[in-house]
Structure 1
Amino acid sequence: MRFMQGFMALVMAVAAVVALAGRAEARGAPDSFADLAEAVSPAVVNITTSTIVAQREGGPQPMIPEGSPFEEFFRDFLDRNQRGPNGNGEEGERRQRRSQALGSGFVISEDGFIVTNNHVIEGADEIMIEFFPGGEGAREQLQAKVIGTDPNTDIALLKVESDAPLPFVNFGDSDVMRVGDWVMAVGNPLGQGFSVSAGIVSQRNRELSGAYDDYIQTDAAINRGNSGGPLFNMDGDVIGVNTAILSPNGGSIGIGFAMSSTVVERVIGQLKEFGETRRGWLGVRIQDITDDIAEALGLDSTDGALVTVVPDGPAKDAGVLANDIILSFDGVDVTDTRELVRIVGNAPVGKAVRVVVLRDGKTETLKITLGRREDAVAGNAGGDDDAETPKEPEQSKILGMTLSEIDAATRDDLGMSPTASGLVVRDIDEDSEAFEKGIRAGDVIVEAGQQAVGSIDELQERFDAARDGGRKSVLLLVQRDGNPRFVALSLGE
């Protein structure tokens, strides 16, 4: 018995040592990043852009007391510096200066395709590429041309011509990266030249300001000049493009963001093939379903995207209606608007997809042929004007909102079409729930309880119907500057 107890204790001790060793190995840092840095650095480039900027008139000028003996001297001096080099003062010969900016990038093919940030090269007249000094195939400098850009993801594709094959790096799979994985950034911070910094993945799927954002957050030092440079995994594959930092002082505080390679690789493929992006377009305006909106609609879940407007386009042609809830797109369940925008944008233009919507408590499957988002954005048009004789509308106060029916003057002031109807918010109590949920004077209520309202009486009928149906809140469709959104308001007692 003692032997067995001793044997079991020994087994448990060995297991504990193995477990501890495994945990220590998982947390342990690489012995060195030197081999990795040496392997990938030849494919990383410094980017110098220059732009010709005209000397602006009306800039800061020295204060010269009128009548001062130096007044004429300063006037002549400033005039000479604002004119061309001949100093003849002819109009149109303002002196020009060349503005320079620095950034980073990386080569993705031996024939000279280079990836960087759009903001690094935007508006540049000349783009010069400097290669890693001493690396195999290195050049002092090569001039680059722009193949294509995507401001939505801040990605640009450049091309240089070289007699010899250039060292390059491959994209890795950013989707397999985990929080805590080691990463290494290479670039040109603050114009100091090639520099390496290391850290970990702090978080994934970060969103900053764009509809297609999918950033990797890292604590690897990223500063100005690192923009456009690569973020490597430990296999030497690019899993992100360093794009932005969060900082109160402009320097690295360990919160940097790199656009994921999953997004970048897709964008680069389109830029290389077409010189532009071609994203799928469904043709709907949508918003997230909040808890109070779900309650007002009698839903058990907040999953899906609520359709607010269906302009002319693919969705309208297929029969999608305002107030529909999109539950799935091309076989993928939709949890919120951000996810829907991303999967639609990643879908091929012209593809026929099945979209499942919830309408009046029942699901319907619609087949929609996707358009191209870039064409839709470029063709977006405004509304009409109205010239009817204005009249003073009657007002009523409901749930802290002073409301009136829309008249001709209101349509004109708000830039609405002549046939637009609804209730305009003339004033609102700042201690009301409506104010807390973002409703403001000038907003227009066009629906209540998923039905159009054009008068105070109709609005009150919708409220009464909701109360009679056991609802604690009612869903309003509110427009501001032509942009609609749903707001759920409590009905009270």
Structure 2
Amino acid sequence: MTAALLLALAAPVAAPSMAAKAHAQGQPQVQTGPGRAATGSFADLAEKLLPAVVNISTSQAAPQRQPGQRPEIPQFPPGSPFEDFFRDFFDRQQQQDQPQRKATSLGSGFVIDATNGYVVTNNHVVQDADEITVILQDDTNIKAELVGRDGKTDLALLKIKTSHPLTAVPFGDSDAMRVGDWVLAIGNPFGLGGSVTAGIISARQRNIDAGPYDDFLQTDASINRGNSGGPMFNLNGEVIGINTAIFSPSGGSVGIGFAIPSNLAKQVVAQLKEYGKTRRGWLGVRIQAVTPEIAESLGLPAHKGALVASVTPDGPAAKSGIQAGDVVIKFDGKEINEMRRLPRVVAETAIEKAVPVEVWRKGKTQTIQVKVGELEAAEEQGLLAAGPEDKQAPKDKAPAQKPTESLGMKLTAITPELRQQYDIKPELKGVVITEVSSSSTAAEKGLKAGDVVLEVGQEEVRKPEDVTAKVQKAKEQSKKSILLLVDRKGDLRFVALPLS
């Protein structure tokens, strides 16, 4: 089995002291910093932070048989004495009141508000739990209330009521962390209780496909089972990350752990505290990455930004005039250097706020004012970004045209027969791909029979000859690639094909 990304497995396990390694190898010790004693020990800092880190124990009721439901009796030959024996046995079992079994799990968390008893952990630690118990460092058990949780960022907020004195830790600035900075991770690995490990920030802004707002800090501090929801500290004793996942071939730590950055967590936690749920900004677009080929075909000076593949009808973007084919390069003054940054920036924007959006359209930039909507409200209404629709589109009456080969594909005008064969929506206009050469760039880009080409070079096409003409025009203009807008069963995306 290859190395796998494992959620719900985050926790630190003791690692050899970096200073001890350096000393043993005759190397100079690392430079000391805040919270690190001259001897190279983290002991003072760990002693201060440990009381704020808690264990999270959850229980979930196991499925129970309905009253009167009898387990299946083994089949025996008719008249067998075993038939009566098993029937009597199961009847007696039904009459006994058996306690319901519960499944339990362990994770970690930390106190952020000692006065009001707020505790932060991972969503997957408490998801589907019937009971949640917070266990303090001195083994005090306190029942917890779930204030709110967010599956998109894997965060949850709990609240405990107790006269027991609590210790809280503050959030720090995760954006200030640099690759190579020291960090401490504290959690509950393998259910052993509070454990401390040290490491460094190995990388920032990692995307591990855990959710739409991935922006993880990567660390080599040992992370193992049970540490999910535990804090990662800088040397000032501030929480700069929440340990969430590891990359491992065996389920144990191999020095690749991931933590949710505190600057993302702070906003989610604040919303959970105020509303009991998240309230994110919403733009109403489907986007894709800008590759060098796409940038060249659009005349964009650099391959940056987020390419709008489709716009949700009546969404904020549609109402403001943003169009498919626009490249968002700035949102509310913030640079969008890569596609993944746009969803995070939009989500962090206040709902109903009017913001300037700078887009690249047809060879130049322009600024559009957009009033940000609410993502959760859009989800409740079932709004999804969709491709362009034309409800007044007439039915196809033209006869089928001869397939035309271009860019390694056979293209044909859409006919009623092809609509039925490839399940193409009645309102969709364009040119259907009926065959793709296996050795072509189109095949490498994932195009296949049944895909519908809606635009070529950001201009609509209706017949294969339109495609051929636009390809020829692009070649005459010495363009290296050409941009296609392709629909695959309602899923829109842009594909840049080389013209060589």
Q: The TM-score by the shorter chain falls in which range? A: 0.7 to 0.9
Aligned to 2:4: none
Whole-angstrom distance in 1 between the partners of 2:212 and 2:444 = 26
Whole-angstrom distance in 2 between the partners of 1:198 and 1:71 = 67
Contact map agreement 1:175 1:262 (CA 8 A) in 2: yes
With over 3 angstroms needed to count, the CA separation of the structure-2 counterparts of 1:270 and 1:75, relative to structure 1, is farther
Aligned to 1:361: 363
The one of 466, 490, 499 aligned to 1:491: 499
Whole-angstrom distance in 1 between the partners of 2:101 and 2:78 = 31
Aligned to 1:316: 318
Contact map agreement 2:240 2:261 (CA 8 A) in 1: yes
- SS of 1:246 mapped into structure 2: strand
> Does 2:126 match 1:121?
yes
With over 3 angstroms needed to count, the CA separation of the structure-2 counterparts of 1:308 and 1:24, relative to structure 1, is same
Shift of 1:114: 0.4
Whole-angstrom distance in 1 between the partners of 2:88 and 2:426 = 55
Q: Which runs of 4+ in 1 moved over 6 A?
A: 64-71, 382-386, 388-392
Aligned to 2:213: 212
Q: C-alpha deviations, 1:107-154, integer Å up to 9, x for none?
A: 111121000000000111111111111xxxxx6211111111111110
Query: Whose helix proportion is higher, 1 or 2?
Result: 1
With over 3 angstroms needed to count, the CA separation of the structure-2 counterparts of 1:448 and 1:130, relative to structure 1, is same
- What aligned pairs does 1:185-264 form with structure 2 within 5 A after superposition? 185-209=185-209, 210-264=211-265
With over 3 angstroms needed to count, the CA separation of the structure-2 counterparts of 1:26 and 1:34, relative to structure 1, is closer
With over 3 angstroms needed to count, the CA separation of the structure-2 counterparts of 1:164 and 1:418, relative to structure 1, is same
Contact map agreement 1:186 1:226 (CA 8 A) in 2: yes
Whole-angstrom distance in 2 between the partners of 1:68 and 1:168 = 69
Whole-angstrom distance in 1 between the partners of 2:337 and 2:454 = 26
Whole-angstrom distance in 2 between the partners of 1:94 and 1:406 = 65
Whole-angstrom distance in 2 between the partners of 1:185 and 1:368 = 41
Q: Which deviates the most, 118-127 or 27-36?
A: 27-36
Whole-angstrom distance in 1 between the partners of 2:265 and 2:62 = 31
> Does 2:396 match 1:378?
no
With over 3 angstroms needed to count, the CA separation of the structure-2 counterparts of 1:490 and 1:203, relative to structure 1, is closer
Shift of 1:45: 1.0
Shift of 1:270: 0.9
With over 3 angstroms needed to count, the CA separation of the structure-2 counterparts of 1:389 and 1:421, relative to structure 1, is closer
Shift of 1:27: 7.6
Q: C-alpha deviations, 1:289-347, integer Å up to 9, x for none?
A: 21111222233211222222122211111111222222211122221211222211111
Aligned to 1:103: 107
Shift of 1:36: 1.7
Q: Any gaps of 5 or more consecutive residues in structure 1?
A: 1-22, 88-92, 134-138
Shift of 1:361: 2.0
Whole-angstrom distance in 2 between the partners of 1:420 and 1:244 = 42
- SS of 1:108 mapped into structure 2: strand
Shift of 1:176: 1.4
Contact map agreement 2:286 2:310 (CA 8 A) in 1: yes
The one of 131, 136, 150 aligned to 1:131: 136
Contact map agreement 2:396 2:415 (CA 8 A) in 1: no
Q: What do you get for the CA RMSD once the two structures are aligned? A: 3.5
With over 3 angstroms needed to count, the CA separation of the structure-2 counterparts of 1:66 and 1:381, relative to structure 1, is farther
Aligned to 1:292: 293
Aligned to 2:9: none
Whole-angstrom distance in 2 between the partners of 1:231 and 1:104 = 12
Contact map agreement 1:393 1:407 (CA 8 A) in 2: yes
Whole-angstrom distance in 2 between the partners of 1:471 and 1:180 = 43
Aligned to 2:471: 463
Q: What letter corresponds to residue 59 of structure 2 in structure 1?
A: S
- What aligned pairs does 1:30-429 form with structure 2 within 5 A after superposition? 31-54=40-63, 72=82, 76=86, 80=90, 85-86=94-95, 97-110=101-114, 111-133=116-138, 140-209=140-209, 210-311=211-312, 312-381=314-383, 393-394=400-401, 395-408=403-416, 410-411=418-419, 416-429=424-437
With over 3 angstroms needed to count, the CA separation of the structure-2 counterparts of 1:414 and 1:202, relative to structure 1, is same
With over 3 angstroms needed to count, the CA separation of the structure-2 counterparts of 1:317 and 1:467, relative to structure 1, is same
Shift of 1:435: 0.8
Q: Which deviates the most, 288-297 or 269-278?
A: 288-297
Contact map agreement 1:390 1:409 (CA 8 A) in 2: no
With over 3 angstroms needed to count, the CA separation of the structure-2 counterparts of 1:164 and 1:413, relative to structure 1, is farther
Contact map agreement 2:76 2:83 (CA 8 A) in 1: no
Q: C-alpha deviations, 1:189-232, integer Å up to 9, x for none?
A: 11122222221211111111122122111111111110001111
Q: C-alpha deviations, 1:149-188, integer Å up to 9, x for none?
A: 1111100001111124421111111111122222111111
Instruction: Specify which structure has the bigger relative contact order, considering alpha-carbon pairs within 8 angstroms and separated by 6 or more residues.
Output: 2
Larger-Rg structure: 1
With over 3 angstroms needed to count, the CA separation of the structure-2 counterparts of 1:283 and 1:190, relative to structure 1, is same
Shift of 1:261: 0.6
With over 3 angstroms needed to count, the CA separation of the structure-2 counterparts of 1:202 and 1:277, relative to structure 1, is same
Shift of 1:389: 10
Whole-angstrom distance in 2 between the partners of 1:331 and 1:77 = 74
Whole-angstrom distance in 2 between the partners of 1:380 and 1:213 = 23
Whole-angstrom distance in 2 between the partners of 1:76 and 1:391 = 73
**Residue correspondences, number:** 457
Contact map agreement 2:280 2:348 (CA 8 A) in 1: yes
Contact map agreement 1:296 1:488 (CA 8 A) in 2: yes
Aligned to 2:19: none
Q: What letter corresponds to residue 122 of structure 1 in structure 2?
A: Q
Shift of 1:33: 2.0
With over 3 angstroms needed to count, the CA separation of the structure-2 counterparts of 1:104 and 1:366, relative to structure 1, is same
Q: Which deviates the most, 172-181 or 102-111?
A: 172-181
Q: Which deviates the most, 236-245 or 182-191?
A: 182-191
With over 3 angstroms needed to count, the CA separation of the structure-2 counterparts of 1:389 and 1:230, relative to structure 1, is same
- SS of 1:264 mapped into structure 2: helix
Whole-angstrom distance in 2 between the partners of 1:428 and 1:56 = 55
- SS of 2:62 mapped into structure 1: strand
Q: Which deviates the most, 103-112 or 463-472?
A: 463-472
Aligned to 1:472: 480
Shift of 1:362: 2.7
Q: Which deviates the most, 246-255 or 202-211?
A: 202-211
Whole-angstrom distance in 2 between the partners of 1:79 and 1:407 = 68
Shift of 1:288: 1.9
Q: What letter corresponds to residue 51 of structure 1 in structure 2?
A: Q
What percent of counterpart residues are identical?
Answer: 46
- SS of 2:340 mapped into structure 1: helix
Whole-angstrom distance in 1 between the partners of 2:237 and 2:267 = 20
Q: TM-score, normalised by structure 1?
A: 0.83
Contact map agreement 1:391 1:408 (CA 8 A) in 2: no
Whole-angstrom distance in 1 between the partners of 2:195 and 2:441 = 53
Whole-angstrom distance in 2 between the partners of 1:342 and 1:84 = 55
